[in-house]
Amino acid sequence: MVANILGKIGASLLAFFVAAFCGGMVAQVLAVSTDATEEFILIFVATATIAIAITVPFFIAQFFDPPRRAVDRVAVALVIAFFILLLALVLWTLSVPYEQRTSGSDFKIYAWLILPNLTTIAAHWLVMRAMQPRGPANFGRSEAQRTS
């Protein structure tokens, strides 16, 4: 029992570090390739925050049965929630008159938010899915009904 829980904690920590590294690398490449300035700090903070925040639902999903399906559902739900929050942010920006906006480059920042954070979610999902045990194969003669 304790070994099972420790294995799940270890899988979550591994997934967290891999996802944070992948998201950080994508953010770094975007920053260098676009000659980003200090507003790109928001992207690094958001990537780290997403990596921390998605660890909890993926950790909890390991305790559901079957865990691979639960991890898949959590990944889909997190992507949908990420896009809903991003859409709310864009709509909030559009609700402010153009003259009163703090920056005309707000939409460039929103575009920068998408790729590193989706990479973080995808990397976390891939590691968590790979760490889950596979169920038995549901095909072949083992599932056939015996008539004798």
Q: How far apart are the first and last CA of the chain?
A: 41
Look at residue 106 in the predicted model and tell me its pLDDT.
67
Residue 24 pLDDT greater than 70, yes or no? yes
| Contact (CB, 8 A) for 134 and 68 | yes
Q: Which of 79, 80, 101, 99 is nearest to 90 (CA)?
A: 101
Sequence letter at residue 4: N
Q: What angle do CA 129, 133, 138 make, to 5 degrees?
A: 105
pLDDT digits (tens, 9 = 90+) for 70-122: 999 999 999 999 999 989 988 887 787 777 766 656 677 777 888 899 999 99
Contact 107, 40 (CB under 8 A): no
Six-digit token pair at 7? 């294995």
Does the pLDDT of residue 43 top 70, yes or no? yes
Residue type, 47: T
pLDDT given for residue 32 in this prediction: 87
- Spell out the domain ranges in the chain: 2-133
pLDDT at 143 over 70: no
Q: What is the pTM (predicted TM-score) of this model?
A: 0.80
Predicted confidence at residue 108, as pLDDT, reads 75
Taking the mean position of all CA atoms in its chain, how far away is CA 110?
A: 17
So what's the pLDDT on residue 101?
67
Compute the distance between CA of residue 96 and CA of residue 73 in angstroms, rounded to an integer: 35
